[in-house]
Amino acid sequence: MKLPIIVSEDSKQPIYYQIEMQIKTLIVSGQLPPNTLLPSIRALSSELSCSVITTRRAYQNLENDGFIKTVQGKGTFVKVLDMEMAQDTKYEVTRSALLQAIEQAELMGSKSEDIRMVFEDIMKQKDR
């Protein structure tokens, strides 16, 4: 199974964190339903052209946080999430994405007022 994950070496976020957040997003959004078999650590690291250690760290964090489980000899699977965990994750992922966008805008010289105006404009368009 190929996961729709894109990592960026230019991001301020470590690659393991990018992988972790994107897998959380796929799980919470339902694109990776419970009991879905995930790619092996080696397969995913090869697919993303990153080290096995990086991918292993992302998987370990996901397992420690209760998103996935590894069954010896069978593979790594998506766990069933409770509603509170899903809501907390939606908040965390949304916050992280917005923070990254704000940092990018600031790098280009945008001021807080300009960023807020763009955000409000986008939200108005989405509400139409």
Range of the domain at 57: 15-127
CATH number at residue 123: 1.10.10.10
Judged by DSSP in three states, 67 sits in: coil
Cβ atoms of 48 and 57 within 8 Å: the answer is no
Read off the pLDDT of residues 10-39 as tens digits, 9 standing for 90 and up: 888 899 999 999 999 999 999 999 999 999
Read off the pLDDT of residues 76-85 as tens digits, 9 standing for 90 and up: 999 999 999 8
Residue 64 lies in a domain: yes
What pTM does this model have? 0.82
Q: What pLDDT band is residue 69 in, cutting at 50, 70 and 90?
A: very high
Residue 104 lies in a domain: yes
Q: What is the total count of domains within the chain?
A: 1
Cβ atoms of 93 and 24 within 8 Å: the answer is yes
Cβ atoms of 34 and 80 within 8 Å: the answer is yes
Read off the pLDDT of residues 94-123 as tens digits, 9 standing for 90 and up: 998 899 899 999 999 999 999 999 999 999
